[in-house]
C-alpha cells in the first residue's frame, strides 16, 4: 500500500451538506473548486469558541447558549477543512487504511491530521502486534518513524512473499527436527527434535551459535521470548533457560546446569507436544489430555484444562487459550479454567496444528486430512466459534501453521509449504461507537487456492514459522531452511525499471520510424503502390502457391470483405438499385462458396486458438508427468495407454487444431516457445478430492502450476500480450474418474468421510466449477470440460463385481454408472449456468459417457469386435491386473473398446476426437457446440 499525493491538489465539493445534531444545515456547498484563502481565517478558527471536547468519549458537543450562533455560521461552511480539527479527527476515525491514506493527499491540513492520526497505531497493532522497532531499549525509533510510516512500510513488505527469494540451509541436527521458533527481535532461531538437543542459530547469517547438552528424550516443542526459553520433552518435563543480562544471545545453552538460570519442572504424565508463553504465564499441552497453565515467576501450576483426547497444539491470547485435542477444537478461560467453546470433528483425523491472529478473533486449524479451516471467535461473554473458510492445499497431513498478517503458511507431510492470503476473506466494519473491528464474510468458502507453494523438500515438514520477510521450516530430513524474501521488492523494482526502459526505447524507435516515413518522397509512395497493385493483380496464382497461416487468413478475410464492399458500391452508385443489390448478394454467395468452404473443410484451420493447457488424470497422461510412476501407485497399469500421450484424446484434439505435441509439465525445458504451444499438467491417477498418492499432481496442484505458468508468461510477454494469449488458448479439464474409482471400488473412506454418493458427486462438481471460475478470473475464456466415461462398464469394475445382480446384459454395473451420470448431469448444468453468468466465457461440456455407451452397445457399427475385455490385462475381462508389459497386449488393439482397467484404446480416442471436433460420427457429444465451432470464434 503506497499513498502518493499529487502537488497542487484541490478540493472538489459536490452536493455535500453537513448535518448538525440539533439544527440540520439547509445550505449546500457548490461544486466549484475551493482554495482556502491565505488572508481569510477558517471557519474553525473563527468559531472555535463554539465547540468543546467531551473528555469521556472524545466526541464534540455544542454549548447550549451558542447553538443559535452555530446554526448561522454552519450555513457558511463550504469545506471539511473549515471544521474543527477534533471533529475532523473523529470523522477520520471512521475510515479504513486505504481511505485514510487517500484523504491525506487532499491538502496540507488534512495531510497533517490524517498522517498523525492515532488510528494508524490501531491499524498496526490489530495486524502485527507491537512493532519490533518499538521494543524496550529501542524507543528512540518511535521518534524516527510515525505510525503511518510503520504501517505503510509493513503493509508494503507483506507483498514480498509473492516475489523472489534466497534460501539458506542450516545443517547441524543429526535426526528429524520437530519444532522451530524464531525470536525476531533478537534475530535468533531455536530448533530441536529427535536428537534431543536444542540449537540456537543466527537468523541473518544462518550460522549455529550454541547448542544444549542432550536433554534425554525427544523434544517436540520449544517456546521463547526475550526473557525465557523452554523446551518440552516426551518424558513429560519442561526444561527452561532464563535470559542472562549482558549476553547478546540471551541464553547460555552450553554452561553446566545453573539453578538460577536453568530449571526443569515435572507435572505432565505424557509427552509434551506444544508450548507457549505470554507476559505472565506459560502454557504446556501433552498427550496426557491436559493443558497446564503455569506462573512464569514461581513455576507453579495454576490451572489444569482437561480434554477428551491427546492435546496437539495450543494458542493463547489474553485470558483465553485455544487448543486442539484429537479432532476437536477448544477455547478455554485461563482465569477460571472453564470451557468457553468446543467444535467437534473439525478434521477427519487428528487436528495437528493451530494458529491465531494478534487480535485473537481468528483461528486456523490444520489436520490429518490435509485441510485447513478458518474460524472466527464471536462474543466476549458468551463465546461462539464459527467456521468461515476451508482450504485443501496439501496432499498430506498439515503438521504446522504460522500466521503473520495477511499470510497463513502451512507445512505438510507432502513436503510443501503453502502461502494463503486471507485479506480477501476479511472486511472491516465500524460500529456506532467508531470501534474498528474485523469481520469475515458470512458464507463458508471452500477450496480457496493458495497464492503460492514452496517446494524443494522430499519428506515430511513438521514445523514452520513466518516473519515479516522470512519463512523458517524444518522436518524429517533434519535440515532447517530459511526462505529470505527481504530483497524481493528491490528485485521487482529493478525489473520494473528495465521494463520501463525497454518500453521507452520501443517508443523512440516507433517515433523515429514515423519521422523517417514522413520524409519519404511521393515517388517512393507511388512505386510502393504500384508494387502492391501488381501483387493484387496476380492474387489468385499467389494464393495457389502457398498455404496461408492463421494470421494471413485473417488478412485475407479483411481483404475479401473490402472487395465485397467496393463491388457493391460500384453497382449501387448507379440508378439501378434493385439490380445492383441482387448482383451484390449473388457475388457475396459465390465468394463464400469459392473461398470459404475450402477453409471450413480444412481440419487444421484454427485461427483463434494459440495454445492448449491440459489438466487431468490418466485420461490425459500415460505416466510421463507422474514422478515415481508406477512405483508409488497401486492397481494401475505400467502402460496405461497404447504407446504414449499422443494416443490420448487431448493430444489428438491438439493435432486437429494445428498445434504441436503438448509436452508434459516435467518435460518442459523452460523455453517460452514451448509454453506458448501449451503445457500438459495432467498426471495419472490424479484426483479432485483428497489424494491417494504423493507422487502425482492433484487438481489443486495442477491449477497452481497453471497459474505459475500464466505468471511466467505475463513476466516474459507483458500483461496485455499475455492476456490476449490466454484468452485465445484452450484449457482442457478431465477429472473425477479416479475419485469415483476410489469411492466405489477401493472403498477408501478417508477420501470421502461421511458422504453418500449424491453428496460426494456434488462436492466433486462444486470443486470443478470452482476451478473453472478461477481460470476465468485468470483471463481463460475457452474451456473444455470432459465428463466421466461409464466406469460401470470398465473391465476392472465388471471383474470385481461380476457376481453382482444389478448389472445389465453386458455385465455393466448400473449403480456405478448411475453415479457417473449424476456427476456428468450436475457438471453440465453448472457449466450452462456459468456460460450465462460469466461474460465472454465459452465453456463446453463433452459427454464422453454417451459416446462410450454407443461404442459398447453397438461395437460392430464402429469397427469394434470386443466391448467387454481389455486388450492388455489379466484375469476376468482383463480387469484384475493392468497392463504390466506391452507384450501382454492383444494383437489388434483397434478391435477393442478398452485398453486396460479403465482406459479406452487409441481407436476409441480417435472416434471421440472426431466427434468432439466436428460431430462426426457422433453428434452433439460436446455441448453447446463443437470444438471446431469454439475454435472459429474469437473472444
Q: Are strands 782-786 and 842-846 parallel, antiparallel or unpaired?
A: parallel
Within 8 A by CB and 6+ apart from 19, the residues are 25
CA–CA distance, 500 with 518 (Å, rounded to integer): 27
User: Which residue in this structure is represented by grid cell 495486524?
Assistant: 127
Asked if residue 807 is part of any domain, the answer here is yes
Residue range of the domain that includes 67 = 11-117
Q: How many other C-beta atoms lie within 10 A of the C-beta of residue 637?
A: 26
Asked if residue 786 is part of any domain, the answer here is yes
CA–CA distance, 274 with 232 (Å, rounded to integer): 7
The last residue of one of the domains, among 63, 98, 117, is 117
The model carries a pTM of 0.48
| Contact assessment for residue 925 and residue 846, using Cβ atoms and an 8 Å cutoff | yes
| Contact assessment for residue 695 and residue 747, using Cβ atoms and an 8 Å cutoff | no
- Judged by DSSP in three states, 744 sits in helix
Q: How many other C-beta atoms lie within 10 A of the C-beta of residue 711?
A: 14
Asked if residue 25 is part of any domain, the answer here is yes
Instruction: Calculate mean pLDDT across residues 550-576.
Output: 46
Within 8 A by CB and 6+ apart from 395, the residues are 370, 412, 414, 690, 691, 694, 698, 701
The last residue of one of the domains, among 63, 96, 117, is 117
Q: Are strands 177-183 and 188-193 parallel, antiparallel or unpaired?
A: antiparallel
Give 208-234 pLDDT, tens digit per residue. 899 999 999 999 999 999 999 999 999
96-107 residues labelled b (16+ CB within 10 A) or e (exposed): ebeebbebbebb
Give 268-290 pLDDT, tens digit per residue. 999 999 999 998 999 999 999 99
Q: Cα–Cα distances in Å, from 33 out to 10, 14, 30, 43, 80? A: 6, 9, 9, 17, 13
Give 579-616 pLDDT, tens digit per residue. 444 444 454 445 444 444 444 444 444 457 889 999 99
| Contact assessment for residue 415 and residue 455, using Cβ atoms and an 8 Å cutoff | yes
Asked if residue 507 is part of any domain, the answer here is no
| Contact assessment for residue 211 and residue 171, using Cβ atoms and an 8 Å cutoff | no
Lowest average pLDDT, out of 226-235, 294-303, 629-638, 718-727, goes to 629-638
Beta strands per DSSP E along 349-383: 353-356, 362-366, 372-378
Q: In CATH, what number is assigned to the domain containing residue 732? A: 3.40.50.1110
Instruction: Calculate mean pLDDT across residues 246-273.
Output: 85
The proportion of the chain whose per-residue pLDDT surpasses 90, expressed as a percent, equals 35
Asked if residue 839 is part of any domain, the answer here is yes
Lowest average pLDDT, out of 613-627, 817-831, 911-925, goes to 613-627
pLDDT at 57: 40
Q: Is the backbone peptide bond immediately before 212 cis, with ω within 30 degrees of 0?
A: no
Give 468-508 pLDDT, tens digit per residue. 888 999 999 899 999 888 877 777 667 777 777 777 777 77
518-553 residues labelled b (16+ CB within 10 A) or e (exposed): eeeeeeeeeeeeeeeeeeeeeeeeeeeeeeeeeeee
The last residue of one of the domains, among 98, 117, 136, is 117
The domain total for the chain is 2
Lookup: cell for 569: 458500391
Half-sphere exposure of 737 (CA within 13 A, CB side): 30
**Of 55 and 762, the one with more pLDDT:** 762
Q: Give me the DSSP letters along 438-454.
A: EEE-SS-B--PPPSEEE
Asked if residue 142 is part of any domain, the answer here is no
Q: Cα–Cα distances in Å, from 664 out to 361, 656, 714, 775, 913? A: 44, 19, 21, 19, 20
Q: How many other C-beta atoms lie within 10 A of the C-beta of residue 169?
A: 10
pLDDT band with cut points at 50, 70 and 90 for residue 135: very low
Q: For the chain, give the mean pLDDT.
A: 76
Asked if residue 893 is part of any domain, the answer here is yes
User: Is residue 570 predicted with pLDDT exceeding 50?
Assistant: no
- Judged by DSSP in three states, 187 sits in coil
| Contact assessment for residue 405 and residue 158, using Cβ atoms and an 8 Å cutoff | yes
Q: Cα–Cα distances in Å, from 371 out to 360, 361, 389, 392, 460? A: 21, 20, 11, 4, 16
Asked if residue 225 is part of any domain, the answer here is no
User: Is residue 757 predicted with pLDDT exceeding 50?
Assistant: yes
pLDDT at 166: 80
Element (H, E) at 800: helix 795-800
Amino acid at each position: 500500500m503506497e499513498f502518493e499525493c499529487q502537488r497542487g491538489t484541490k478540493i472538489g465539493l459536490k452536493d455535500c451538506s453537513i448535518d448538525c445534531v440539533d439544527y440540520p444545515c439547509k445550505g449546500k456547498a457548490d461544486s466549484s473548486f475551493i482554495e482556502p484563502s491565505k488572508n481569510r481565517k477558517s471557519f474553525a478558527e473563527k468559531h472555535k469558541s463554539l465547540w468543546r471536547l467531551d473528555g469521556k468519549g472524545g466526541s464534540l458537543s455544542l454549548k447550549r447558549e451558542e447553538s443559535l450562533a452555530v446554526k448561522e455560521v454552519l450555513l457558511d461552511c463550504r469545506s471539511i477543512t473549515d471544521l474543527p480539527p477534533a471533529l475532523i479527527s473523529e470523522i477520520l476515525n471512521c475510515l479504513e487504511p486505504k481511505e485514510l491514506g487517500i484523504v491525506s493527499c487532499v491538502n496540507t491540513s488534512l495531510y497533517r491530521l490524517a498522517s498523525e492520526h492515532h488510528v494508524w497505531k490501531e491499524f498496526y497493532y490489530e495486524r502485527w502486534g507491537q512493532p519490533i522497532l518499538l521494543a524496550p531499549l529501542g524507543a528512540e525509533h518511535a521518534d524516527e518513524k510515525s505510525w503511518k510510516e510503520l504501517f505503510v512500510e509493513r503493509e508494503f513488505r507483506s507483498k514480498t512473499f509473492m516475489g523472489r527469494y534466497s534460501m539458506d540451509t542450516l545443517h547441524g541436527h543429526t535426526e528429524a527436527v520437530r519444532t522451530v521458533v524464531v525470536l525476531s527481535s533478537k534475530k535468533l532461531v531455536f530448533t530441536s527434535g529427535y536428537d534431543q538437543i536444542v540449537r540456537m542459530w543466527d537468523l541473518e547469517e544462518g550460522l549455529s551459535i550454541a547448542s544444549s547438552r542432550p536433554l534425554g528424550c525427544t523434544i517436540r516443542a520449544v517456546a521463547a521470548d526475550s526473557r525465557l526459553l523452554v523446551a518440552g520433552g516426551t518424558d513429560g518435563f519442561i526444561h527452561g533457560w532464563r535470559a542472562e543480562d549482558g549476553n547478546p544471545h540471551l541464553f547460555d545453552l552450553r554452561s553446566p546446569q545453573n539453578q538460577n538460570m536453568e530449571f526443569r519442572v515435572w507435572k505432565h504424565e505424557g509427552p509434551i507436544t506444544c508450548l507457549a508463553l505470554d507476559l505472565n504465564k506459560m502454557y504446556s499441552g501433552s498427550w496426557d489430555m491436559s493443558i497446564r497453565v503455569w506462573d512464569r515467576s514461581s513455576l507453579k501450576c495454576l490451572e489444569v484444562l482437561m480434554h477428551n483426547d491427546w492435546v496437539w497444539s495450543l494458542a493463547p491470547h489474553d485470558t483465553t487459550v485455544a487448543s486442539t485435542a484429537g479432532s476437536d477444537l477448544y477455547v478455554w478461560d485461563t482465569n477460571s479454567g472453564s470451557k468457553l467453546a468446543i467444535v467437534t470433528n473439525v478434521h477427519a483425523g487428528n487436528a495437528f496444528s493451530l494458529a491465531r491472529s494478534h487480535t485473537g478473533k481468528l483461528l486456523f486449524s490444520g489436520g490429518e486430512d490435509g485441510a485447513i479451516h478458518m474460524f472466527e471467535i464471536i462474543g466476549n461473554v458468551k463465546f461462539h466459534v464459527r467456521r468461515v473458510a476451508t482450504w485443501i492445499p496439501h496432499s498430506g497431513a498439515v503438521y504446522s501453521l504460522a500466521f503473520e498478517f495477511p499470510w497463513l503458511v502451512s507445512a505438510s507431510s507432502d513436503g510443501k509449504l503453502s502461502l494463503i492470503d486471507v485479506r480477501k476473506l476479511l472486511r472491516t466494519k465500524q460500529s456506532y461507537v467508531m470501534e474498528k473491528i474485523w469481520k469475515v464474510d458470512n458464507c463458508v468458502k471452500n477450496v480457496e487456492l493458495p497464492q503460492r507453494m514452496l517446494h524443494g523438500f522430499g519428506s515430511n515438514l513438521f514445523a514452520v514459522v513466518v516473519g515479516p520477510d522470512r519463512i523458517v521450516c524444518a522436518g524429517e530430513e533434519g535440515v532447517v531452511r530459511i526462505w529470505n524474501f527481504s530483497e524481493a521488492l528491490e528485485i521487482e523494482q529493478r525489473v520494473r525499471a528495465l521494463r520501463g526502459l525497454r518500453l521507452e526505447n520501443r517508443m523512440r524507435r516507433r517515433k523515429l520510424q514515423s519521422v523517417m516515413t514522413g520524409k519519404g518522397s511521393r515517388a517512393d509512395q507511388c512505386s510502393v503502390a504500384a508494387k502492391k497493385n501488381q501483387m493484387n493483380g496476380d492474387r489468385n496464382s499467389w494464393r495457389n502457391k502457398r498455404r496461408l497461416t492463421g494470421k494471413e487468413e485473417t488478412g485475407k478475410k479483411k481483404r475479401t470483405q473490402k472487395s465485397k464492399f467496393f463491388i457493391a458500391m460500384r453497382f449501387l452508385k448507379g440508378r439501378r438499385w434493385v439490380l445492383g443489390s441482387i448482383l451484390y448478394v449473388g457475388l457475396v454467395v459465390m465468394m463464400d462458396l469459392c473461398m470459404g468452404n475450402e477453409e471450413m473443410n480444412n481440419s487444421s484451420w484454427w485461427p483463434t486458438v494459440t495454445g492448449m493447457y491440459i489438466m487431468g488424470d490418466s485420461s490425459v497422461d500415460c505416466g510421463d508427468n507422474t514422478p515415481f510412476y508406477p512405483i508409488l501407485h497401486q492397481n494401475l497399469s505400467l502402460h496405461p495407454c497404447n504407446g504414449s500421450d499422443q494416443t490420448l484424446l487431448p493430444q489428438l484434439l491438439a493435432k486437429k487444431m494445428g498445434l504441436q505435441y503438448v509436452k508434459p509439465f516435467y518435460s518442459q525445458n523452460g523455453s517460452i516457445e514451448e509454453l506458448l504451444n501449451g503445457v500438459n499438467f495432467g498426471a495419472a491417477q490424479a484426483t479432485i478430492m483428497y489424494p491417494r498418492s504423493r507422487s502425482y499432481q492433484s487438481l489443486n496442484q495442477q491449477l497452481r502450476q497453471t497459474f505459475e505458468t500464466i505468471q511466467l508468461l505475463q513476466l516474459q510477454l507483458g500483461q496485455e500480450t499475455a492476456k490476449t494469449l490466454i484468452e485465445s488458448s484452450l484449457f482442457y479439464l478431465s477429472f473425477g474418474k479416479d475419485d469415483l474409482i476410489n469411492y466405489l471400488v477401493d472403498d477408501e473412506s478417508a477420501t470421502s468421510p461421511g458422504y453418500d454418493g449424491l453428496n460426494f458427486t456434488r462436492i466433486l462438481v462444486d470443486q470443478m466449477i470452482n476451478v473453472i471460475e478461477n481460470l476465468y478470473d485468470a483471463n481463460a475464456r475457452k474451456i473444455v470440460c470432459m465428463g466421466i466415461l461409464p466406469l460401470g462398464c470398465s473391465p476392472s469394475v465388471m471383474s470385481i463385481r461380476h457376481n453382482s445382480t444389478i448389472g445389465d446384459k453386458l455385465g455393466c454395473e448400473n449403480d456405478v454408472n448411475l453415479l457417473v451420470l449424476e456427476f456428468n448431469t450436475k457438471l453440465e448444468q453448472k457449466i450452462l449456468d456459468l456460460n450465462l453468468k460469466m461474460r465472454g466465457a465459452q465453456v463446453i461440456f463433452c459427454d464422453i459417457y454417451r459416446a462410450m455407451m454407443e461404442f459398447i452397445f453397438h461395437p460392430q457399427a464402429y469397427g469394434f469386435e470386443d466391448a467387454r475385455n481389455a486388450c492388455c490385462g489379466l484375469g476376468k475381462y482383463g480387469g484384475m491386473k493392468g497392463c504390466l508389459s506391452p507384450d501382454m497386449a492383444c494383437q489388434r488393439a483397434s478391435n477393442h473398446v478398452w485398453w486396460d482397467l479403465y482406459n479406452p484404446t487409441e481407436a476409441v480416442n480417435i472416434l471421440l476426437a472426431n466427434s468432439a471436433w466436428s460431430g462426426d460420427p457422433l453428434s452433439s457429444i460436446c455441448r453447446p457446440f463443437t470444438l471446431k465451432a469454439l475454435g472459429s470464434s474469437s473472444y
